[in-house]
Structure 1
Amino acid sequence: MTATPAADPTMDAITIAVTRGHEGETARARQELLAIWRDLGVLGDPLHRCTLAHYLADLNPDPAEALIWDVRALDAARALTDDRAGEHHAGLEVAGFYPSLHLNIADNLRRLGSFEAAAVQIGEAEDRVAALPPGSYGDMIRTAIRGVRDAITARDTTPRSSSPTVGGTEDD
């Protein structure tokens, strides 16, 4: 029998806001996430900061703004422990966060035309793919890493069609 994770109102609020964003209410989702961020502060729970910053980046179509949030997510991950991650979801390990976090930073740098810096970050993502779980999530991240690597090589700044803010409904 596995233990049920403790109630986490902050993660619940983040999930509600992210769901709104995925349903097309991106401006409202960003406002709600920013309000949670203000309550957390820069020294708040690393799991909350990492999750929230990651989703704020995903909901921001401006690559410079998204980059700021992606760097915040990476910084928070560096302060996160496997024990804390496991409190949220049994078996969750911080190492599995890094491929996606570096991928996102690389993609924003690429969109900004900073190809050398993007190549360094995509290399970091590639170096960490072994930490990805098998299955659809891991496959999705591996595919995205290859796509961003190809775009960096081609010096292409076009947003990827699979980017969370591309092709969705923007309400602001």
Structure 2
Amino acid sequence: MEKRRKATPEDGVLTRIGQAIMLHRAGDREEARNRLSALWHEIGPQGDAFHRCTLAHYMADTQDDPRDELDWDLRALEAAEGFVTERPEGPGTAPAESAVADGPGPRHPLVALRAFFPSLHLNIAADYAALDRPADARAQLRRARASVNALADGEYRQGLRDAIDRLQLRIDGAAGHAS
């Protein structure tokens, strides 16, 4: 048990992401976006997938333009998908199924990234709906529904199901009004 605690020290990157999220929720969208942007450049394209996914997921929420929001949500999905589907190479690496990320940074449970999928697909569906792309939105909603079923029962799962249903109704209502 002691070995596990040493392998997962407090994560300064996640703390900084959390601080930016608090700024955004307090109404300082621009400062949150600036801090997340600086952190994105610091992490870099080869940075920890969990960090990149988390940061991009929240960076999307700070965007003013729906196209930019979609770009960031797609980056978050790309980071998550790349992590869960690719097997790191080299000595001492573990297969993706082992539920840890390889690399110099902290190790993160694979389940944490998998728990992002329903929310990521839901956000992308909302982005497509905002961009008046209902077919793409519906495709993402199908992926959100499929991935939410893999989650454990609880408030998070039910909240996502409710949000998926609300967005589906909104898209279907918009399509009905467009006729």
Using the size of structure 1 for normalisation, the TM-score is 0.81
Q: Find 1:79's aligned residue among 79, 82, 85.
A: 82
Equivalent pairs, count: 155
Report % sequence identity: 36
Higher relative contact order structure (alpha carbons within 8 Å, sequence separation ≥ 6)? 1
Of 36-45 and 3-12, deviating more is 3-12
C-alpha contact (below 8 Å) 1:6/1:87 kept by paired residues: no
Quote the offset at 1:7 in angstroms. Answer: 2.1
The offset of 1:152, in angstroms, is 1.5
Choose 1 or 2 for highest CA Rg.
2
Equivalent of 1:109 in 128, 133, 137: 128
Structure 2 residue runs of 5 or longer lacking an equivalent are 85-98
**TM-score, normalised via structure 2 length:** 0.78
Deviations 1:142-170 (A, max 9, x none): 111111111111227xxxxxxxxxxxxxx
**Is the CA contact (8 Å cut-off) linking 2:138 and 2:168 kept in structure 1?**
yes
Distance 2:64 2:169 in 1: 21
1:91 CA displacement = 7.9
Q: Which whole-Å deviations, capped at 9, do the CAs of 1:29-80 have from their partners, x for residues lacking one?
A: 1000000011112221111100000000122242111100000000000122
Which segments of 5 or more consecutive residues in structure 1 lack a partner in the other structure?
A: 157-172
Q: 1:124 aligns with which of 143, 147, 156?
A: 143
CA RMSD of aligned residues (A): 2.2
